[in-house]
Structure 1
Amino acid sequence: MDRYEGFREFVTVRGPALMGTAYLLTGGRHQAEDLLQTVLTKMATRWRHIELDGNPEAYARTALYREFVSWRRVRRNHELPQAELPERTAAGDLQDAAVRRMLIEQALRRLTVKQRAVLVLRFYEDRSEAETARLLGCSVGTVKSQTHHALQRLRLLAPELGELLPEAAPMILGGER
């Protein structure tokens, strides 16, 4: 019996969704690939155990968030990307959406690790406060305060997005899934 039986299928089926979450957390494709690879490598060594527990997806997502927070503690990167944004024109919704996405990505990179993780879980993953707290290993109160502070900081960092943040945080962070 192959010790990785089922693992390859899990990675094939759920890998793209996990990669999307990793990208939102890290803000870059290469960092997202590294993060996901680290988590999947750890999962592979414990696959039989994880599979017996019955919910490898939940395990993977929890591991992804915790590894991201752990990485950021160890690998502090104080550089803040400062790309010049193109001027807004009346070229249509597609250009506006691209500019908005760039603004959001820049603002997300400037949030604390915990704030970014909370926003991704709450608004992209559509998790409850209790689920978010459980996944991050913190209290519901911490999730509430981190969400509040993160949205407040996003409004400060990208005032152009201010009218979108309160009602449409899911749309901003990931669009419709």
Structure 2
Amino acid sequence: MPDDDVLTTLARERGRALFGYAYLLTGDRHAAEDLVQEALVRTFARRRTGFTPDDAEAYVRRAILTVFLDDARRRQRWAGVKHLLGRHDEPARDPAPAVGAVLDVQAALATLAPQERAAAVLRWCEDLTVPEVAARMGLADGTVKRYLSTAGHKLEARLGPLPEDESVPLTGRPLS
């Protein structure tokens, strides 16, 4: 199947699911849209032969995760050095999101560190096993377990006990 057909099929049939995945990571509609677009550009910038829609979706999901984590690292590095520019007139931003009257999954996910959030989304929303999450994030299984444990405790503190049946997504409804 030509690359243009694969891209068209992927956008038409899996675009909402890809957006939902990116939205869970970012917590922001516009950032999620930008994240999906960047991932699509990175995936389809080079011509690949024999690229099926399923292969393309896997590549795009990996690219979404990679771009999200790279951006988080970049923002963290910038936050650590921007004070060196000597500009003190900007008010310091509170890194924790404003908590509304209703606690929901989006607000709870926003309280997690980027690595914890990515691990939680991959494990509990994408229904991947710990070894699969570790492979996607390029980490050891034990590191992923630590991120999941920390994320689980933080989410339970905000949302109450997590469902015993891990096949139930955190949102209570399918992502796509």
Q: Report the TM range for the smaller structure's normalisation.
A: 0.7 to 0.9
Aligned twin of 2:172? 175
Give the 3 Å change call, closer, same or farther, for CA 48–123 of structure 1 in structure 2. Answer: same
* TM-score normalised per structure 1: 0.78
Q: Distance in 2 between matches of 1:176 and 1:75?
A: 31
- CA-CA distance at 1:41 after TM superposition: 1.0
* SS, match of residue 84 in structure 1: coil
Q: Helix, strand or coil: the match of 1:127?
A: coil
Q: Are residue 165 (structure 1) and residue 166 (structure 2) matched?
A: no
Change (3 A) 1:47 1:127: farther
C-alpha displacement of 1:36? 0.7
Aligned equivalent of 2:56: 56
TM value normalised by structure 2:
0.78
Q: Which amino acid aligns with 1:173?
A: L
* Counterpart amino acid of residue 72 in structure 2: R
Asked if structure 1 preserves the Cα contact closer than 8 Å seen for 2:9 and 2:53, the reply is: no
Q: Is the 8 A contact 2:10 2:53 kept in 1?
A: no
Structure number with higher relative contact order (C-alpha < 8 Å, ≥ 6 residues apart): 2
2:85 pairs with 1:84? no
Structure 2 contact 69–114 (Cα < 8 Å) conserved: yes
Root mean square deviation of aligned Cα: 2.6
The alpha-carbon distance between structure 1 residues 27 and 169, as it changes in their structure 2 partners (threshold 3 A), is: farther
The unaligned stretches of length 5 or more in structure 2 are 80-93
Per the alignment, do residues 143 and 119 of structure 1 end up closer, same or farther by CA in structure 2, a change over 3 Å counting? same
